[in-house]
Structure 1
Amino acid sequence: MTERQKMEAGEWYCCLDPELDALRAEARRAVHAHNICPPDARGAIAPELAALFAVVGRDCFLEAPFHCAYGINLSLGDRVFFNAGCVVLDTAPVTIGNDTMLGPAVQIYCAEHAKDPALRARGLEIAHPVRISENVWIGGAAIIMPGVTIGNNAIIGAGSVVTKDVPAGETVAGNPARPVRAHR
Structure 2
Amino acid sequence: MTSAVKLHPYIYNLLIEKDFNEFSANHLRDALLKITDEYSEVSEARKFIYRQLHRLEALGFVCKIEKSDGRSKKFYKTTELFYSTAFTTGKIPKNSRLRTVQAKVDSEVSDLDIFLNDLKKEKLIHEAKLAVVLSEIEEYQSLMERFPTKKSYLTALYQQAKNQSAALLGRVTALSKVLGQNSNEHRTC
Structure with the greater relative contact order (CA < 8 A, sep ≥ 6): 1 or 2?
Answer: 2
- The bucket for the TM-score relative to the shorter chain is under 0.3
Q: Structure 2 length as normaliser, TM-score?
A: 0.21
Task: Return the index of the structure with the highest Cα Rg.
Answer: 2
The structure where helix makes up a greater share of residues is 2
The structure where strand makes up a greater share of residues is 1
Q: Structure 1 length as normaliser, TM-score?
A: 0.22
